[in-house]
């Protein structure tokens, strides 16, 4: 009933007409650095894009906007309060912590996100890191480029241990869409898959064994994080948990940076408590210069690109457009603060 009332209220309050509504995108560059377009959004209204928006310019750039789209630019209570015409906030990502939901809800402004657009891309990135850590393709290719193969007395050489995945144990924390997609890839490699979720899944895919965290950390050869960041799991992977892992284990994080205590991870890698780490997210992004993980052995960091295939970004833009269209038509979808709106 609450959602039905909300839809009626939106339809009655906002007489939108295609081509007249002003839409401002505060940070369009990461979703579309120029290889895609905003044509479908431009068909819905007057669109103004900014590659990036510093905090001090948010209110000025979105001053007349009825619809504001943001990826990582923060819309806090102060900025929301300054936007007199604001009717809708669309987050160009799955996570929506950049928006003050309480402030938006107090204004009656729905906030939407983009669910499930990056699932195959992120699962692919997980195994890009896994294969990098087990096959050392880049290191071997560079050694060949430097002449090591040409100087080799044998028909082949390797300069790091090569690890076969079949028969190893792949641990997953978080069995959402990306966790399940990653589990399917692990199974395709012939790995045993164990998983932990904050609550038992309604349906468990074939070939996945649910276990407690202690057993998962102790048994996995590869641990991949796929859970959302909450107050309860901040630094879920900490010094104590790292000591539970096998010295040969690998840690992969494509979820949220603060799930890992990165200072503890750096020490664990230096001390040989685990064998390696592949990280696509960090506690602070971008991480500071001189971060201890930069010099940690067998730690490989990519700059939060797991989501960023062109196909995934195209899906993101398509869903964002559908979210805006649904709102204009009085039937908002993917609203993350629906229970706070009255």
Residues marked as catalytic: 256, 285, 304
CA distance 49 to 24: 6
CA distance 143 to 77: 53
CA distance 306 to 308: 6
Beta-bridge partners for 46: 22
Burial environment of residue 286 by CB neighbours within 10 A (0 to 12, 13 to 18, 19 or more): exposed
Q: Are 176 and 167 in contact (CB under 8 A)?
A: no
Write the secondary structure of 109-178 as one string of H (helix), E (strand) and C (coil). CCEECCCCCCHHHHHHHHHHHHHHHHHCHHHHHHHHHCCCCCCCCCCCCCCCCCCCCCCCEEEEECCCHH
CA distance 102 to 272: 45
DSSP 208-251: EEE--HHHHHHH-SEEEE-PPP-TTTTT-B-HHHHHHS-TT-EE
Contacts of 148 (CB under 8 A, 6+ apart): 157, 159
What are residue 234's phi and psi, to 5 degrees? -60, 130
DSSP assigned state of 335? B
What are residue 140's phi and psi, to 5 degrees? -70, -40
């Amino acid at each position: 009933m609450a959602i039905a009332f909300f839809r009626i209220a939106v339809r009655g309050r906002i007489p939108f007409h295609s081509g007249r509504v002003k839409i401002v995108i505060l940070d369009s560059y990461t979703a579309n650095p120029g290889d895609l377009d905003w044509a479908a959004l431009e068909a819905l209204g007057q669109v103004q894009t900014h590659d990036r928006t510093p905090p001090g310019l948010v209110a000025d750039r979105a001053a007349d906007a009825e619809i504001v789209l943001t990826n990582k630019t923060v819309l806090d209570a102060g900025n929301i309060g300054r936007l007199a015409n604001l009717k809708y906030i669309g987050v160009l990502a799955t996570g929506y912590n950049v928006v003050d939901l309480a402030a938006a809800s107090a204004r009656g402004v729905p906030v939407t996100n983009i669910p499930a657009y990056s699932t195959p891309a992120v699962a692919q990135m997980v195994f890009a890191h896994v294969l990098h850590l087990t096959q050392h393709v880049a290191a071997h290719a560079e050694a060949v480029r430097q002449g090591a193969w040409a100087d080799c007395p044998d028909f082949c050489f390797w300069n790091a241990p090569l690890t076969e995945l079949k028969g190893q144990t792949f641990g997953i924390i978080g069995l959402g869409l990306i966790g399940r997609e990653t589990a399917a890839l692990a199974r395709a490699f012939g790995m045993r898959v164990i998983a932990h979720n904050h609550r038992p899944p309604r349906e468990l895919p074939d070939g996945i064994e649910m276990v407690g965290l202690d057993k998962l950390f102790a048994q996995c050869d590869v641990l991949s994080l796929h859970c959302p960041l909450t107050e309860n799991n901040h630094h879920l992977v900490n010094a104590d948990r790292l000591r539970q892992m096998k010295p040969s284990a690998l840690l992969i994080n494509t979820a949220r940076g603060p799930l890992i205590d990165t200072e503890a991870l750096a020490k664990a890698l230096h001390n040989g408590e685990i064998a390696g780490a592949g990280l696509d997210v960090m506690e602070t992004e971008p991480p500071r210069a001189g971060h201890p993980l930069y010099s940690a052995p067998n730690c490989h960091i990519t700059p939060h690109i797991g989501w960023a295939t062109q196909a995934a970004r195209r899906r993101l833009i398509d869903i964002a457009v559908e979210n805006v269209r649904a709102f204009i038509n009085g039937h908002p979808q993917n609203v993350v603060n629906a229970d706070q709106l009255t």
